[in-house]
Amino acid sequence: MHFLGPFALQAQMAALSGRMVLADKQAEAMGVQITLTPGDQKTTTNEKGFFRFDQLPAGQYQLTAILEEYQKLVRTITLRADEMLVIDLELQPEPVFLEGVEITASPFDYRPYLTDVVSREQIERMPARDVGDVLRSQPNVSGIRKGGSNLDPVVRGLKFSQLNVQTNTGQKIEGGCPNRMDPAASHIDINDVTRIEILKGPYALRYGPNFGAVLNLITEKARPYESWQLHAHAIKGWESNPNGTKEHLTLQGGNKKIFFALSGNRHDYGNYKAGNGELVPSSFFKYNFAGEAGCVPAKHH
């Protein structure tokens, strides 16, 4: 005799829970993305670093844990029927390898005041008799004539003692004679000047107090040479009105031990003839010499 009737088999399930910590901080790993395959089941750790999977068929699984800035963690786990498996896992920090970084900086000369520079090439192209002639070719600079060859510079309407006229960044020049017949800028021959710096305004405190501007006249300087050398620089000029000539000669030379710079200038000009034929008395003749020498008595001096 046979008896038939319905019956059911209930599969035996397992569960998995665990805790994630950060190995470098020994703190709970919150927000770790955990994937369990096969089945592609996913979850995320809570603020205490815990996670849990329920109703898992018994068998072998691969657990993958991912958190930004930490190494990917992969573990193989075997679950048995009716088992609650509890595991502790650590996430190791992900090393970041940076390539070499090259930082290049270029020096720049920042000044909080306006500076105009007149180069030697500009000076030689001008038919100038003195420093004042060159200066008044620049913006906001004019001059007061003090004779056939001398101009007293005016910068933005400021003049005389309101200006600080210097030579070679430090030696202040004063005007001479009553009523500044010899302006401060006239004591340096224009042919000896290699560069003129015009610092407008009272902001260049490096050169001492002034209200109007600083006029820095840079002249030829003696310098040492690796071996004995001699250099010459000469100028010959002629003008038709006023009829006159000018000459300039500079000699520079020396070696590592002894060196020098010598210069001489000569100006000879006649009276100015106006367009209506009137002769304006403005003739002058002047000459000057300048010299500079240096020596290095011992090494590293």
H-state helical runs in 101-214: 120-125, 131-135
According to DSSP, the residues that pair with 74 across neighbouring strands are 64
| Mean pLDDT rounded to a whole number for the chain | 87
Summarised one tens digit per residue, pLDDT across range 12-28 is 789 999 999 998 888 89
Residues 126-178 pLDDT 10s:
888 889 889 988 998 998 888 777 888 999 888 888 888 998 887 888 877 77
Question: What is the pLDDT, as a whole number, of residue 126?
Answer: 85
Lowest model confidence (mean pLDDT) among 19-23, 220-224, 264-268, 297-301: 297-301
pLDDT of residue 176: 75
> How are strands ordered across the β-sheet holding 115-119?
115-119, 193-200, 213-219, 163-167, 171-172
Nearest of 142, 214, 109, 107 to residue 171 by alpha carbon: 214
Cis bond before residue 38 (omega within 30° of 0): yes
Q: Mind listing the domains of the chain with CATH numbers?
A: 13-91 (2.60.40.10), 115-219 (2.170.130.10), 229-295 (no CATH)
The pLDDT of residue 2 is above 50: no
In the chain, the percentage of residues whose pLDDT exceeds 90 is 42
Token pair for residue 91? 């996430």
Please write the tens of the pLDDT for every residue from 64-82.
999 998 999 999 999 998 8
Structure tokens at 214: 């600083």
